Amino acid sequence: MIRAIYLGPWRVDLAVRDGVSIPVPGVTLARAVGAALDVAGARAPASIGLILTDDRELAELNETHLGKIGPTDVLSFPLLPPEAFPPHQGATRRAAPGRPTTAFVLPPRRRPYLGDIVVSVERAIEQAAQGRGGQTGDVRWKPDDELRLLVTHGTLHICGWDHAEPAEEAAMRALESRLLF
């Protein structure tokens, strides 16, 4: 079941898979999404999906979409190109000249859908408990903090942020820290 959470100009479509128990209220995670959308300069109003699931589903998605075996903690599936968002330090690669930077025209009073963030709650809880959480992978903190980080991280990816290059990673990590603490 999907629950729509409205936060100002944002609608976060929250889906919690059967059998998955989240250690933090869904609205707390939706607020993390909204804060990241705000600072990333996403065009408002808009909708975004947040799917909370388990390692099994993340392993399937990871293999299908990235060709990697095994689960990961968060995956993002943006529907707009990075160029649809304001330029920032977290993305050094930009579109080739002539490539469209906006989404197709929607009917009146319709929110554009930015994409989906899929998080393994199971992996977040495990990483937090084993001290493999945080941006550096060596932080022991509460599972709700790890979930907020993963949701923030996934949202920034939706908005064109990346961490493939050192400068991108530094900018993205700094923004995540600013949003979380």
pTM over 0.85: yes
Interaxial angle between packed helices 26-40 and 143-158, expressed in degrees from 0 to 180 and rounded to the nearest 10: 40
Q: What total of structural domains would you count in the chain?
A: 1
CATH number at residue 89: 3.40.390.30
Contact call for residues 158 and 117 (beta carbons, < 8 A): yes
Which residues does residue 48 pair with via DSSP β-bridges, in sequence order?
A: 12
Domain with 30 in it:
2-180
In order along its 181 residues, the chain shows pLDDT tens digits of: 899 999 999 999 999 999 999 999 999 999 999 999 999 999 999 999 999 999 999 999 999 999 999 999 999 999 999 888 988 776 655 544 444 445 555 556 678 999 999 999 999 999 999 888 888 888 888 999 999 999 999 999 999 999 888 999 999 999 999 999 8
User: How many C-beta neighbours within 10 Å does residue 57 have?
Assistant: 18
- Report how many helices (DSSP H) and strands (DSSP E) the chain contains, helices first: 5, 5
